[in-house]
Amino acid sequence: MKEVFDTKFGIGIRDSNRPQFASGYLLLSLALAHGALFAVNTVDDLAQFNLSNGEIPLRWKDEYLEKPVLRHATADGPQETPLTKQKFCSCLRQIFAAAGYFGELATIHCIRRNLGKKVESQSLQPRKKT
């Protein structure tokens, strides 16, 4: 078995020309929300980096290296346990039921598909001149 002493993960912020599929944006927004990055706490901090080379190294704070990115949350806030698919789907069904939606339309796939369509339609429209 190979020992790994230093692992680097490359996630392209612009890994897709379609914004709804750019996974790097999701991970970066979660890291900023949790304060998980070393020396980067806000979007303004991130804007100070020179992106002319196309990439910047970002380091996780040591205390976040063993924490799950997507965490279970309660009324007391985020917990240290991972958010499972089952728990997420259960919460999603409760939210849909409270909003009056029932049936097959209340799925993660439907949300992603319809959100993707909306984002894509807006990103393809010409911008209005001000």
Q: How many helices (H) and strands (E) would you count in the chain?
A: 4, 2
Token look-up 């897709």 returns: 16
Predicted TM-score of the model (pTM): 0.53
Q: Is the dihedral of CA 120, 18, 99, 75 positive or negative?
A: negative
60: helix, strand or coil: strand
Token look-up 């949300």 returns: 111
Quote the tokens at residue 68: 């799950």
- Per-residue model confidence as pLDDT tens digits over 52-69: 776 778 899 999 888 888
- Per-residue model confidence as pLDDT tens digits over 72-114: 888 898 888 998 888 888 888 888 888 887 766 667 777 778 8
Q: What is the CA radius of gyration of the chain?
A: 18
